[in-house]
């Protein structure tokens, strides 16, 4: 019995039976599906332990409403990017440019020329810029045959540089007439900011897309065995392009959320967000080689990193120590993945 959300090789596409079964199809079958559920249980345990640490070390600050809301708001922005990164990595790729694309989208949306048309146009601008930059990544990788690492690294540098040039390295404030953007952060429903609900909606839509649509089945197929997917009739290059466009779309939505939180557009937004997003996806159990992963796992990984960051801040620990800790966690997670794959190999 396969794990929900991880279709078997036979269910991917009509004619898939003619293609040789990929390694990812084996990994996603039978008992391995149950192992995936156990991995999620482990993530819940890790979150519980971090909560206990927070309650013990900072009982007066950690469990307060303001701190919980602050963590949710921070997780919302990075979380939207994490959803897009999950699709890309399951599809066998990597995107190092997500933070820079978000910064570019926020700067473009907060220029005076854009703000003159109101908050709706600002939001549409951010989404279009993010999607467009992601589409460029996809075209370079799928049709230009560039290695994803190189293509997205180039986009990281170029998008950050373009954002700096457009803003003249200055922070651009959202004008008072466009307060509808800021309202996403200040307006609360049941005590929770609207931007958290936007994040939740993106997660739900991402889960449905990955687990209940042909697009999701093709994503697993392309990441698990591109050649088998091609023989099954999937246009691998077009699908790869769409995955990066989807990642860019998520960056555009995240740009709206960070504009709401900070009331600004800046070329410095999203610095090292690619680290947090990719780390959350890896901690959540998605294979770096593609073909396996879940949205839920990525979100749990994101919550773990958000809690770690919050605990470091509350306990007054150095920011550089946070980065060291995150780097070590990523290395350990990848080593565990490699070990598990070796143990499961026939």
Classify residue 20 as exposed, middle or buried by CB count within 10 Å of its CB (0-12, 13-18, 19+).
exposed
Angle at 29 between CA 25 and CA 31, to 5 degrees: 145
Q: In the numeric block, which tokens belong to residue 230?
A: 């091609």
Q: 242, 37 in Cβ contact below 8 A?
A: no
Q: 118, 125 in Cβ contact below 8 A?
A: no
The span from the CA of 39 to the CA of 285, in Å, is: 7
What was the pLDDT predicted at 165? 93
Q: Measured between alpha carbons, how far is residue 218 from residues 21, 123, 227, 292 in Å?
A: 14, 30, 12, 12
What was the pLDDT predicted at 11? 40
Query: Position of tokens 């709706």?
Result: 120
The interaxial angle of helices 194-211 and 214-224, nearest 10 deg, is 70
Q: In the numeric block, which tokens belong to residue 184?
A: 């996403």
Strand 188-189 versus strand 264-265 pairing type: unpaired
The span from the CA of 274 to the CA of 192, in Å, is: 26
Q: 63, 55 in Cβ contact below 8 A?
A: yes
The interaxial angle of helices 273-283 and 319-344, nearest 10 deg, is 30
What was the pLDDT predicted at 109? 94
The dihedral sign for the CA sequence 21, 22, 23, 24: negative
The span from the CA of 87 to the CA of 290, in Å, is: 9
Q: Which residues pair with 188 in a beta bridge?
A: 193
Q: In the numeric block, which tokens belong to residue 143?
A: 């049709």
pTM (2 d.p.): 0.84
What was the pLDDT predicted at 344? 56
The dihedral sign for the CA sequence 15, 20, 24, 29: positive
What was the pLDDT predicted at 312? 85
Q: In the numeric block, which tokens belong to residue 285?
A: 């159990």
Q: How many CB atoms lie within 10 A of CB 108?
A: 26
Q: Phi and psi dihedrals of 247, rounded to 5?
A: -60, -40
The span from the CA of 236 to the CA of 136, in Å, is: 16
Give Cβ neighbours of residue 230 (< 8 Å, ≥ 6 apart).
236
What was the pLDDT predicted at 61? 84
Per-residue pLDDT 10s for the chain (346 aa) are 444 444 444 444 443 433 444 444 434 434 444 444 556 777 888 888 888 988 888 888 888 888 888 889 889 999 999 999 999 999 999 999 999 999 999 999 999 989 999 999 999 999 999 999 999 999 999 999 999 999 999 999 999 999 999 998 889 999 888 889 999 998 999 889 999 999 999 999 999 999 999 999 999 999 999 999 999 999 999 999 999 999 999 999 999 999 999 999 999 998 889 988 998 998 888 888 888 899 999 999 999 888 888 888 888 777 777 778 777 877 877 777 666 666 555 5
């Amino acid at each position: 019995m396969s794990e929900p959300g991880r279709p078997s090789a036979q269910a991917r596409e009509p004619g898939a039976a003619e293609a040789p079964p990929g390694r990812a199809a084996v990994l996603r079958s039978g008992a391995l599906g149950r192992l995936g559920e156990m991995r999620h249980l482990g993530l819940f345990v890790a979150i519980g332990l971090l909560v206990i640490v927070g309650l013990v070390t900072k009982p007066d600050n950690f469990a307060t409403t303001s701190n919980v809301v602050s963590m949710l708001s921070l997780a919302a922005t990075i979380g939207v990017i994490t959803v897009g990164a999950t699709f890309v990595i399951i599809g066998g790729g990597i995107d190092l440019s997500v933070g820079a694309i978000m910064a570019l989208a926020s700067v473009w949306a907060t220029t005076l020329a854009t703000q003159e048309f109101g908050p709706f146009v600002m939001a549409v601008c951010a989404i279009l810029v993010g999607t467009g930059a992601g589409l460029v990544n996809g075209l370079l990788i799928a049709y230009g045959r560039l290695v994803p690492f190189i293509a997205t690294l180039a986009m990281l540098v170029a998008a950050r540089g373009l954002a700096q040039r457009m803003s003249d390295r200055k922070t651009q404030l959202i004008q008072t007439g466009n307060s509808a953007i800021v309202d996403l952060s200040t307006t609360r429903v049941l005590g929770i900011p609207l931007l958290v609900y936007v994040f939740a909606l993106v997660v739900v839509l991402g889960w449905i897309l990955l687990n209940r649509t042909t697009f999701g089945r093709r994503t697993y197929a392309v990441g698990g065995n591109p050649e088998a997917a091609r023989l099954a009739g999937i246009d691998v290059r077009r699908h790869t392009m769409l995955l990066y466009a989807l990642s860019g779309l998520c960056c555009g939505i995240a740009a709206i959320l960070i504009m709401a939180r900070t009331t600004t557009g800046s070329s410095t937004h999203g610095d090292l967000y690619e680290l947090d997003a990719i780390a959350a996806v890896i901690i959540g159990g998605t294979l770096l080689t593609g073909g396996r992963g879940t949205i839920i796992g990525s979100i749990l990984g994101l919550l773990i990193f958000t809690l770690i960051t919050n605990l470091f801040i509350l306990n007054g620990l150095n920011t550089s120590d946070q980065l060291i800790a995150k780097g070590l966690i990523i290395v350990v997670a990848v080593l565990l993945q490699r070990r598990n794959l070796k143990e499961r190999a026939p």
